[in-house]
Homo-oligomer: A and B are copies of this chain.
Amino acid sequence: MSLPQIWQQPAELRQAIRRKEFRGHTAGQAPGYAQGNLAILPRAYADEFLRFCRLNPKPCPVIGMTEPGDPRVPELGADIDLRFDVPGYCVFRDGEKVGEVADLGELWQDDMVGFVLGCSLSFEAALLDALVPVRHIDDDHTVPMYNTNLPNGQAGRFGGNMVVSMRPMTPAQAIRAIQVTSRFPAVHGAPVHFGDPAAIGIADLARPDYGVPSEIREGEVPVFWACGVTPQQAIRVARPPLAFTHKPGHMLVADVRNSELAAF
């Protein structure tokens, strides 16, 4: 098995994606640079969605935003084109996912507004750097994610409940993880809960709603962070006629370094 090529520079990776030479997961690519979740909505929904993000900064931290109809995000990279620079997209019609596409060249509309949201890959890099192990990275599987009963702040048609990701840790690791992730409010920040899953409406940690369950070892507690899947739940509730997100794991890789997203 050949190892995948690692691009060191985000702009070079985006060019490879644009040329369809790279179609894979972006985890591990352009080490040190921020990767973002994507949500693209018609202008008639964009103002409400921005208000929704402002009300819910833990699951929906906006790190970049386009002008209506303009696919560029100069604050995250001079050459970014949201129609082509992500290796896979999901298409939603009336709030339901109807398919996946390789680019938005055909589907983009002149009234679309793109939002780039900070993602946990940034804080996981900081956790590993602080010697806090991350189980799903060690075990090489997707992070387990769960629907909760924690209601999002409602903004217009956008609402729904928070989705969380879970990482098992010892209490000492969890305390360190809370310190480390508190430095990164732009990428979900500190956890929203630890311990009893039922307290936030999770029935069974062995059956995540998205991703793959993580083993929880003796002496560990589950620690829960707000998750970037939350906006997809909000889109389901708001039912815009057309919307796009990145395909899970296929992120926008920005020219901004993770360290630039640290609050202190």
Contacts and interface: CB of A to CB of B under 8 A. Distances in A.
Interface of A: 171-172, 174-175, 178-179, 182, 190-196, 199, 219, 221, 264
Given A199-B219, A219-B199, A264-B264, A193 B178 contact: no
B190 A171 contact: no
B193 A172 contact: yes
Contacts of A195: 171, 195, 221
Nearest to A200: B171
Contact of A175 (B171, B172, B178, B196): B178
A71 to B, nearest CB: 37
A88 to B, nearest CB: 34
A263 to B, nearest CB: 10
Contacts of A221: 195
A195 B182 CA distance: 21
Contact of A179 (B171, B190, B199): B190
Contact of A196 (B179, B192, B219): B219
Nearest to A220: B195
A178 B171 CA distance: 12
A95 B191 CA distance: 43
Listed from nearest, the 7 A-B pairs whose CB atoms lie closest are A178-B178, A171-B194, A179-B182, A171-B193, A171-B195, A264-B264, A175-B190
Contacts of A219: 196, 199
Contacts of A190: 175, 179
A193 B194 CA distance: 13
